Structure formats: C-alpha cells, structure tokens
Chain A
Amino acid sequence: MNAAIEAEAARLKELGESKPRLARDPVNEPMINNWTEALGDRNPVYPELAPPAMVQVWTMYGLNGVRDDDDPLGAMTKVLDDAGYTSVVATNCEQTYHRYLRPGEQLAVTTRLSDVVGPKRTALGEGWFVTTLSTWYVDDEPVAEMMFRVLKFKPPEPTGSVIRPLVNQDTEFFWAGTAARELRVQRCPDCQALRHPPGPFCPRCGSGTPDYVVSCGRGEIFSYVVHHHPPVPGKRLPIVIALVELEEGVRMLGELLDVSPDDVRIGQPVTVDWSRVDSDLTLPVWRAVP
C-alpha cells in the first residue's frame, strides 16, 4: 500500500507543473470590495490595488468548479482516499507575493506536487503530509507563490472512550481471543495447570512457555463489587464488577450486565458475552444465566 502511494507521488512529481488555469475573472474592484467588506479590512490602498492575500481567491474553482485532471492534489487525494486515508486537514500555508496586483490583470495558476511524506503517526491518526507548490502568473510573469500542506489521515474509529487494556506479550493471546469471541485461559504445557491473569511463568512448575485452552465461558459469581465512584469513562454508574469462577477453575473479572446491584448474589450462574468496542478491542462481560 505504501509502495503504491509512493509510486503515485513519484509519478506526479515527475509530471511537474499542471497546465496554467485561468482565473474566472480578471482582478476586479467588486470582488476586492466584497473581500475587504467581509474581512473588515479598511486599508485605503484597496481596491486600487488588490489585497495580496486575495491571490488564491482569483483562481478558486468556485461553486460548481471541477478540479483539473492534472491537478496533482486531486490525483494524490484519490490514491490516499483509496488507501483509507480519507480525512484531510490543512496544516501549513505559505504565500509569497512578488508584487501587488491591479484591477484588470488576468491571473493564471499552475500547481505541482512538492512532496509526500508518510505514513506518520499524528494526534489525528496515521497520515501522509502532501505538499504542493502553486505559482500565479500574469502572462509569463510569476507574481505570487504558495506552499500548501495538508495531512491526509485515517480517522481513528470511535472508541466509546472506554479505558483500554494494556496489551503485552503475556496478554496478547487473551485479547486476540476476545476479538475472536474465545475466552482463552493460560495453561502450562508442562504441568497442565491453568492460570489467570496471564503471566510469563507457571507459578506451580516454573515453565516459561505458556499455552492456552478455550474456556466454555460458564461459571458462577465468586465475589463482586458495586462501583459507585469515581467516574469511569464511557460508563453510567453504578456498575457491577463480578469475579467469576469459571467451570475450568480459574477466576476472572468482568462487568456483569443486566443485573441491578441489589439483585446480584454470590454463586449466581453466569455466562460470558462480548462487548465489541472497535476493531481492535472486544471486552468479555458476564450475563446472568436465568
């Protein structure tokens, strides 16, 4: 996937500048007046001169505009969209003005791809920084330039803001199991002892190469707490956290759903169920067996 993105970036860079695209209108006083009125800019040199920051305005695609086929940002956006980097945010814009423009001047703009850098981990998610360079011309004279950088990123899936487990090499098999809706219990391949929570060594014989079995998911409440405070992200309190003794003999913690705190009792039979948070996390939960 990265190779495809990099290949397209290299191809687009090789193409260089897009064909010059003419502004819809020449630089003109009414549009300058609309701009200064909206932005509250009372600089008296306008509208005899155009505000330099308006340079991009003259060549905007407009209400019904369609990007040119050879616009490198459009082409790069497509390949990144296809790779799942569907969101976009602009991060940098640098404009350099060689001179001020006057009403009557006809602008044209060209754009080329400067670089594509990624994948990078950012606060918004994994993404690629795409930088383009645009040049505005009056006839053959370059009058302004712009460097424009966007981040095309994969929006992270909503997590429901739950507290996420720390997954390490000892517990990875357990969370891979929940994702596959299997309640996995660690087993020592040497002495066959089952243990939970998972750890690197067998507490009975000291073996360091653990294995696992899949639990039937049934058990009884060995103990429980009713959690009233402090607040837990993503939860409406109170909640019941039950320590369940599974039929295989190990005890495991989880939230007990659908049983009000007053109705929980020790010895109550429960069965495992699954609470899918997102594609990376499924939590085991308990439900009472009627």
Chain B
Amino acid sequence: MTELPELAIDTTATFVVSTALATRDFQDVHHDRDAAVARGSKDIFLNILTTTGLVQRFVTDWAGPRALVRNVSIRLGVPCYAGDTLVFSGTAKPDGPDTVVDVVGKCSLGDHVTGTVRVSAP
C-alpha cells in the first residue's frame, strides 16, 4: 500500500466555470450563481465531468505519464461549491499486473467524491 501525495485544488468560481466550459457542460448551475441559488444551491458547483477528470489527474500526477488509465469508478457525495478547497488523498495497491488506487476527494462539506482508479503500465 502506497500513500499518494495530496492534491489540493482551490475551486474558485473561475475554476468551476472554466472547467465546466472545457468539459462542454453548459448547465447554468455551473456558471450562473443566481440560477444556482434559485435552484436551491448555495453557489455554483463543480460538474461531474470535472470531478472525474480531477480524480484521473490526481492519479496520473502520481503514476506518471507512462501509466495508462483503464477505469475510473466514482461515487458522488456532497457538492463542491465555488470558494471551497477540494483535497484528494489516496492509497495505491497492486492488483495483478495493474495498480488500483482508492481515492477520496474532500471539501469543507465532507466527501465530494470517493472511488477507485485502475492504471496499468504500458
């Protein structure tokens, strides 16, 4: 079992908006605070495609460019609002020829995402 180095992301409003648009997710709750509040949210919040991408980035930052990502399996928890900090931690263990990393991404409200990433050597 290997602990991965932590990755902390300041999920500023700019971060939430630019990642939502870069993932072609134009739902208003990811870029329009008034609309998000009207729908019962505290603020705009991170979209799922970004969460998936950050989980992948957290693992490849550690595993290196030669690692091939085979599978990302996540369970979504509390929303990560603009202005929060999202901190990823994880532990890696070998599984046959692959490595499986258990990942947790926490923000101030609790677990934003938990899941596993399977990577293999090329």
Provide the residues of chain A in CB contact with B48, threshold 8 Å: 90, 93
Provide the residues of chain A in CB contact with B35, threshold 8 Å: none
A171 at the interface (CB under 8 A from B): no
Stretch of A47-55, A131-139, A246-254 with 4 or more beta carbons under 8 angstroms from chain B: A47-55
**Which of B18, B23, B56, B65 is within 8 Å of A57, CB to CB?**
B23
B52 at the interface (CB under 8 A from A): yes
Provide the residues of chain A in CB contact with B108, threshold 8 Å: none
Provide the residues of chain A in CB contact with B73, threshold 8 Å: 92-95
Provide the residues of chain B in CB contact with A162, threshold 8 Å: none
Provide the residues of chain B in CB contact with A289, threshold 8 Å: none
**Which of A35, A92, A93, A95 is within 8 Å of B23, CB to CB?**
A35
Provide the residues of chain B in CB contact with A97, threshold 8 Å: 69-71
How many B residues, CB 8 Å from partner? Answer: 31
Interface residues on A, range: 20 to 34
Bound complex: CA of A45 vs CA of B54, how far in Å? 16
A205 at the interface (CB under 8 A from B): no
B109 at the interface (CB under 8 A from A): no
B25 at the interface (CB under 8 A from A): yes
Bound complex: CA of A95 vs CA of B22, how far in Å? 19
**Which of B53, B65, B68 is within 8 Å of A53, CB to CB?**
B53
Provide the residues of chain A in CB contact with B65, threshold 8 Å: 43-45
**Nearest chain-B residue to A44 (Cβ)?**
B65
Bound complex: CA of A60 vs CA of B33, how far in Å? 22
A178 at the interface (CB under 8 A from B): no
A53 to B22, Cβ gap below 8 A?
no
Name B residues whose Cβ lies closer than 8 Å to a Cβ of A. 9, 15, 18-19, 21-26, 48-50, 52-57, 60-61, 65, 68-76
Name A residues whose Cβ lies closer than 8 Å to a Cβ of B. 31, 34-35, 37-45, 51-54, 56-57, 60, 62-63, 89-97, 100
20 A-B residue contacts at CB 8 Å?
A: A34-B22, A37-B22, A38-B18, A41-B60, A41-B61, A43-B57, A43-B60, A53-B49, A53-B56, A54-B23, A56-B52, A57-B24, A57-B49, A60-B25, A62-B24, A92-B76, A93-B72, A93-B76, A96-B70, A97-B70
